[in-house]
Amino acid sequence: MPEELEGLYYRGTLSPPAIEFASPQGKQLFTEALEGGTMEGFFKLISYYQTQSEINYCGIASLAMVFNALAIDPGRTWKGTGPWRWFDDTMLDSCEPLSKIKDEGVSFAKVAYSAYCNGANVEAFRTNESSIDDFRRHVISSASSSEDSHHNGNGHYSPIGGYHAGRDMVLILDVARFKYPPHWMPLTLLWEAMDTIDESTGQHRGFMVISRSHKAFVSSLMHSSGHEDLKKVAKYLIEDVPPRMKLKDIKGVENILSVLFKSAPVDLKDFIKCVAEFWRQEDAGVFSSKIEKEEVLKLVEETELFKHLNRWLASEISSCKSLISFGFNENTVFHMKLSLLDQTCRKETNLTLAKADGAKPMTLVSGKIRTNGIDQGIDMLLVPSSLTSQSRNLLHPSTAGILTLLVLALRQRTWAGIKQENLLAQFNHLTSIDNLPTPLQLEVLHLRRQLHFLMIDLRGPSLSG
């Protein structure tokens, strides 16, 4: 800071061709753009304009501003005081601890992932995957829309508040307001600034188009689970599973499921447990009411894939195979510590029917198992999948339901290595999402996109702050 400015108000000075929003020329640009219909998103954004609270919080401050403009419910009160529910940047720690973001910034992929986690739909474009014409088209579309508004952001992250068609300029609502005020910038110059390589990672920068998404319970599940563990699960499902499908001895659907899940990383068990814990909390979830959860759960259980998975899991339970390594099955009453299940095998099993209070018959699995050389009795009550969610004591999906979502989220090319043509056609039919009911299809696509972003992050996204 110059010596003559010590003790005085100070921030950076804009250099031409940037034009300060509050200047006479900036006001004229605003008036013309407003008349041209390309300032429609401005008013909601300006209502929630905020300054990033830390030097490297530009990414999460931009998200908080956009989320509030889109009226996305954070699922909790601001600073723990009711009834005010809105976002600030300190609430967006789903992808990285705030302490790490404060020191290093947050990556392009993790900003997109955090937006998904908090209920937004995100289209993310690196400049080597797009063009200046694409960028301009997205800016015009966002700036012209007042219904289901879309908002643009770039890195250093800040939302774009409007567009002037005659001058081909964008209005930058810079969240680093301690540096620069809102200002107009030529779109071509902004593109050139984005179309650079991060020297630390070798990757291009880019922009995102963020809009309000459908309400998705998967987003909250992903939000609540460990990010690093999820990356391991994503890598296994996307990179490791396809080669395993080329094995010659795959002869049926249950065989495919065995190959898929018996070699899964232990983190899959934690993921399943996380999902189950989430569903037990009837008031949990930023984006799904109890009714919405029940609807999606019912739709999952009506799929043919779910029925195959349910039969396979029941078979694994009855023979005490590798399912035990998952630790539990939410279709069962199975009260044992997870640590005791890892080295468990069946010694004998009896199947009987049980009935209580006029309910439908349920299968009671009774017998002895050996755990670390010690025999002990066990009873498991298998609840028929046909039971409605209203008859459950706790609202949560079965293990089969969770695994059904994961399998549906994998792209069809995952199964291309299956050698038997009839089996390949059958499994492609089972895993196709084309004819799924819309709520379930949206959930599956949402999970698929998040797995994709986890893989992008795993391969080394660029940091920006």
Is the bond preceding residue 156 a cis peptide, omega within 30 degrees?
Answer: yes
- Name which of 63, 99, 352, 100 is nearest 210 in CA terms: 63
Burial pattern 281-295, b for ≥16 Cβ within 10 A else e, equals: eeebbbbbeeebbbb
Sign (positive or negative) of CA dihedral 433, 216, 458, 233: negative
Query: Of residues 88, 89, 174, 457, which has the active-site annotation?
Result: 174
Q: How far is CA 442 from each of CA 111, 358, 383, 439, 449, rounded to the nearest angstrom?
A: 21, 37, 28, 5, 11
Residue 195 designated active-site: no
Output phi, psi for 123, to 5 deg.
Answer: -110, 120
156 catalytic? Reply is yes
Residue 80 neighbours by CB under 8 Å, 6+ apart: none
114 to 65, 192, 224, 293: CA distances (angstroms): 14, 26, 11, 21
325: closest CA among 283, 415, 262? 262
Compute the distance between CA of residue 203 and CA of residue 201 in angstroms, rounded to an integer. Answer: 6
What residues contact residue 339 under an 8 Å CB cut-off, 6+ apart? Answer: none
List C-alpha distances in Å: 132 to 39, 390, 459: 20, 52, 25
The identity of residue 408, as a single letter, is L
Active-site residue, selected from the candidate residues 138, 156, 204, 308: 156
Which residues are identified as catalytic?
A: 58, 156, 174
